[in-house]
């Protein structure tokens, strides 16, 4: 079965510092991959999705970027964090022919 | 754009009580609808889904019916257990190109007391 590894579980970073969150997939190949964020009191918001290596679609303009250097690796980055980047970040995956999503356990990011 | 609205939580119930968590959606097309559950310390898991109007999704005693006329997908369970304590997310899918997007509600925390 498919598994997503996401780390760290919690992260506290100062404003202006860089960010790199990594997500890796096991148990399948060529998945669609997603980064979601949940800000306090709001729903999960799709940030990026990727259908393959080097292919990234951005859903909302923001201070973040994503990359997919390998089939099973999806990275969320920022050069300079803002206070508004605080939130819960969730990596997810799916197979094209199957709507079922599988999820990582999430990263709670606090920018101070 | 498409959106999902869920009832505010937390919802606190006694064991064996009846559960309803309301969910309504706005969509331009014909989305699929989902309920996801996040147990403490774990990732999100698919609980049930419905892909067209009048479909009923069910799993682990939970049910939800896709109501196009009221644009709703309310989650119900006849008798909750302490182990059902979790956060429940309603979601819809919007298919495009070779991938699709899930749009989530804000989540409803359920606390079941013994």
Is residue B14 pLDDT above 90, yes or no?
yes
Given CB atoms, is A23 within the 8 Å cutoff of chain B? no
Q: What is the pLDDT of residues A14-38, one digit of tens each?
A: 999 999 999 999 988 889 898 988 7
Going by pLDDT thresholds of 50, 70 and 90, the confidence category of residue A39 is low
* CB distance A66 to A48 below 8 Å: yes
Question: Residue B49: beta bridge partners?
Answer: B34
Please answer yes or no on whether B44 and A101 come within 8 Å at the CB atom: yes
Which of B25, B33, B43 should we substitute to test contact with A (largest number of A Cβ atoms within 10 Å)? B43
Give the closest residue to B83 by CA, choosing from B106, B114, B62, B107: B114
Q: Which residues have C-beta within 8 Å of that of residue A31, sequence separation ≥ 6?
A: A2, A25, A71, A72, A93, A94, A95
Q: Does A112 touch chain B (CB under 8 A)?
A: no
Is A63 within 8 Å of A85 (Cβ atoms)? Answer: yes
Q: How do residues A82-110 score in pLDDT, each as one tens digit?
A: 999 988 898 988 876 445 667 787 888 89
Instruction: Say how far apart CA A94 and CA B15 lie, in whole Å.
Output: 35
Residues of A in contact with B41 (CB under 8 A): 105
């Amino acid at each position: 079965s498919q598994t997503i590894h996401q780390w760290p579980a919690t992260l506290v970073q100062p404003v202006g510092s860089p960010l790199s969150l990594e997500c890796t997939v096991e148990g399948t190949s060529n998945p669609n991959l997603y980064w979601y964020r949940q800000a306090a009191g709001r729903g999960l918001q799709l940030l990026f999705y990727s259908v393959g290596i080097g292919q990234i679609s951005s859903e909302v303009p923001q201070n973040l970027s994503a990359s997919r250097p390998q089939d099973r690796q999806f990275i969320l980055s920022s050069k300079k964090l803002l206070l508004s980047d605080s939130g819960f970040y969730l990596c997810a995956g799916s197979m094209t022919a199957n709507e079922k999503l599988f999820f990582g356990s999430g990263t709670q990011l606090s920018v101070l | 754009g498409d959106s999902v609205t869920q009832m505010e939580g937390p919802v606190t119930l006694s064991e064996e009580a009846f559960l309803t968590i309301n969910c309504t959606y706005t969509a331009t097309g014909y989305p699929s609808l989902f309920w996801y559950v996040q147990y403490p310390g774990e990732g999100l898991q698919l609980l049930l889904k419905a892909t067209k109007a009048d479909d009923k999704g069910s799993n682990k005693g939970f049910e939800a019916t896709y109501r196009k006329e009221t644009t709703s997908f309310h989650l119900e369970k006849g008798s909750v257990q302490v182990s059902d304590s979790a956060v429940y997310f309603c979601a819809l899918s919007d298919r495009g190109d070779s991938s699709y997007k899930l749009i989530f509600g804000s989540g409803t925390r359920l606390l079941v007391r013994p």
